[in-house]
Amino acid sequence: MPSDDALKDLIRSRLHPPGDWAEVSLEAWRRLNGDHALNPDALPPTQAFRRAAVLVPIVDRPDGLSMLLTRRTEHLKSHAGQVAFPGGREEAGDYDAVACALRETEEEIGLQRRFVDVVGMLDAYVTVTAFAVTPVVALVTPGFELTPDAGEVDEVFEVPLSFLLDPANHQKGSRTWNGTVRHFFAMPYKGHYIWGATAGMLLDLYRKVGPA
């Protein structure tokens, strides 16, 4: 694993430039990262993909880089209790993916934008529910204070980036969903089960910077 400074340079140089949405067509989605990676039959509805963005916040701690993650509340209609990046669907006024990710992050966990340095974007992640999610990667300066929205977020926690970029910690799992067995990537960490789209996006980060 390279040093933290070298890893930050890799992240800046190997990601897509930050900015506009990752546009996805129904014809091209199979070539992208998404729920279908381990489930080739997981077809999205035959409609245009809806746009969403998440922030992939890497905290630049003195003792090592760490990834900031949330655990969603148990009462939500979708993805209840799951580990996730802060983010959500496009709203009026979100002029690009970065604006959406920053707005959603501030609303969900209270992370102020002055602590956030956006450095790039990962590949779009497409879901079986026809969302095209743009992951916006940022380096976060310590010193922030978080105020999680209790209606959406039960917990905010950090995981060492070195753990997430270590292939020894990358697993595969499966569960039955709507009567069908679905397979997914997972990275369990100290009682937190990181899986699904979140793990898939972290794997994309690993593929871009980890092997170096």
173: exposed, middle or buried (C-beta count within 10 Å: 0-12, 13-18, 19+)?
middle
Taking a C-beta distance cutoff of 8 angstroms, is the pair 122, 135 a contact?
A: yes
Residue 210's pLDDT is: 77
Tokens of 30: 């199979």
Report the pLDDT averaged over residues 125-146: 93
SS3 content of the chain, % helix, strand, coil (to 5): 25, 35, 40
Number of Cβ atoms within 10 Å of the Cβ of 166: 14
Residues facing 59 on adjacent strands: 66, 140
Taking a C-beta distance cutoff of 8 angstroms, is the pair 143, 137 a contact?
A: no
Q: Where are the domains of the chain?
A: 4-209
Compute the distance between CA of residue 61 and CA of residue 50 in angstroms, rounded to an integer. Answer: 35
Residue 33's pLDDT is: 82
Tokens 């003195």 label which residue? Answer: 62
| Type of residue numbered 146 | L
The structure's pTM equals 0.93
Q: What is the DSSP letter of 47?
A: S
Residue 9's pLDDT is: 95
3.90.79.10, 2.60.40.10, 3.10.150.10, 3.40.50.300: CATH of 4-209: 3.90.79.10
Tokens of 35: 């729920």
pLDDT of 93 > 80? The answer is yes
Q: What is the DSSP letter of 107?
A: H
